[in-house]
């Protein structure tokens, strides 16, 4: 079965600072990769998904961006963080019609 | 458009009793998948159970079963013999239609509290 790693686990950043969250997947190849954000006590909002290296689809216009430099690596970035970027960020992976598997998440607090 | 609705923001259940978490969905595509996830306080999303739209029988996984009523577009999760460790947020999700199967649609979640 596949394993998804995310780091860092927790991050506190000032407004206007850059961001880089990393997600790596083990135990599978050619996965679809996803970034979700979850506000406190809320459901999941899909931010980006990728079906292959260099292929990124954005679901919500915002100051975040995503990149997929390798098959099993997915990165979420921002040049300048906003207060509203605070939340819990989850990376997920799947192989088409199967269920999505999630990483442990990164808690981001922007002050 | 696809949509998932969970109308119970919070629920309580006595330990060892069964509980049903409601989920309704909306889609015009005949092919779709329905999923339930558990999210404990640690935050990780744990896959529980899956039901395909063409599956004839309700899915079961241990103490979890999915009450799939296609005509009513409902996919309720039933947890039998609740345990204290079942206390968590539960999310219903649907995979998008064939032309957009990369999208997962999540409900707003139900917070389940199991009382000793």
Q: Per-residue pLDDT tens for B36-84?
A: 999 999 999 999 999 999 998 999 999 999 999 999 999 999 999 999 9
Higher pLDDT, B104 or A70: A70
Label the pairing between strands B19-21 and B24-26.
Answer: unpaired
Which candidate in A6, A33, A100 is best for mutational testing of the B interface (most B CBs within 10 A)?
A100
Q: What is the pLDDT of residue A14?
A: 97
Asked if residue B47 lies in contact with residue A99, where contact means CB atoms within 8 angstroms, the answer is yes
Asked whether the beta carbons of residue A42 and residue B42 sit closer than 8 angstroms, the reply is no
* Residue B34 reports pLDDT greater than 70: yes
Q: What is the pLDDT of residue B17?
A: 97
3-state secondary structure of B85: helix
Distance from CA of B71 to the nearest CA of A (A): 22
Label the pairing between strands A10-13 and A106-110.
Answer: parallel
Give the Cα separation of A21 and A52 in Å (integer).
18
Distances (CA, A) of A33 to A4, A75, A77, A85, B92: 10, 10, 15, 20, 20
In chain A, alpha helices (H):
none
Q: What is the pLDDT of residue B111?
A: 96
Asked whether the beta carbons of residue A51 and residue B95 sit closer than 8 angstroms, the reply is no
Predicted confidence band of residue B31 (pLDDT cuts 50, 70, 90): confident
Strand order in the sheet with A64-70: A3-7, A19-26, A73-78, A64-70
3-state secondary structure of A43: coil
Q: What is the pLDDT of residue B104?
A: 82
Asked whether the beta carbons of residue A34 and residue B104 sit closer than 8 angstroms, the reply is yes
Q: What is the pLDDT of residue B96?
A: 72
Give the Cα separation of B5 and B23 in Å (integer).
6
Predicted confidence band of residue B100 (pLDDT cuts 50, 70, 90): low
**Average pLDDT of adjacent 10-residue blocks, chain A of 111 residues:** 92 97 94 92 88 90 91 97 95 83 95 96
Nearest by CB: A43 against B43, B50, B108: B108
Residues of B with CB under 8 A from a CB of A: 33, 35, 37, 42-47, 50, 91, 95, 101-104, 106-109
Asked whether the beta carbons of residue A99 and residue B106 sit closer than 8 angstroms, the reply is no
Dihedral in degrees, nearest 10, Cα atoms B63, A93, A89, A17: 170
Predicted confidence band of residue B1 (pLDDT cuts 50, 70, 90): low
Asked if residue A1 lies in contact with residue A60, where contact means CB atoms within 8 angstroms, the answer is no
3-state secondary structure of B86: helix
Which candidate in B1, B37, B101, B106 is best for mutational testing of the A interface (most A CBs within 10 A)?
B106
Number of other residues whose CB lies within 10 A of the CB of residue A34? 26
Asked whether the beta carbons of residue A49 and residue B95 sit closer than 8 angstroms, the reply is no
Residue B104: list chain A partners with CB under 8 A.
34, 44, 46, 92, 100
């Amino acid at each position: 079965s596949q394993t998804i790693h995310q780091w860092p686990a927790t991050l506190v950043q000032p407004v206007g600072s850059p961001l880089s969250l990393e997600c790596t997947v083990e135990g599978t190849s050619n996965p679809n990769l996803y970034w979700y954000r979850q506000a406190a006590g809320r459901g999941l909002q899909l931010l980006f998904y990728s079906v292959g290296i260099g292929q990124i689809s954005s679901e919500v216009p915002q100051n975040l961006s995503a990149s997929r430099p390798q098959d099993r690596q997915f990165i979420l970035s921002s040049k300048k963080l906003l207060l509203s970027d605070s939340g819990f960020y989850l990376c997920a992976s799947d192989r088409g019609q199967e269920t999505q598997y999630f990483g442990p998440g990164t808690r981001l607090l922007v002050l | 458009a696809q949509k998932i609705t969970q109308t119970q923001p919070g629920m309580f259940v006595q330990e060892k009793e069964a509980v049903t978490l409601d989920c309704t969905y909306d889609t015009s595509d005949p092919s779709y998948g329905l999923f339930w996830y558990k999210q404990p306080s640690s935050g990780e999303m744990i896959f529980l159970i899956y039901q395909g739209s063409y599956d004839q029988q309700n899915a079961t996984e241990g103490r979890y079963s999915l009450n799939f009523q296609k005509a009513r577009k409902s996919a309720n999760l039933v947890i039998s013999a609740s345990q204290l460790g079942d206390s968590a947020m539960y999310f219903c999700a649907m995979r998008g239609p064939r032309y957009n199967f990369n999208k997962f649609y999540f409900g707003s979640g139900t917070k389940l509290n199991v009382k000793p």
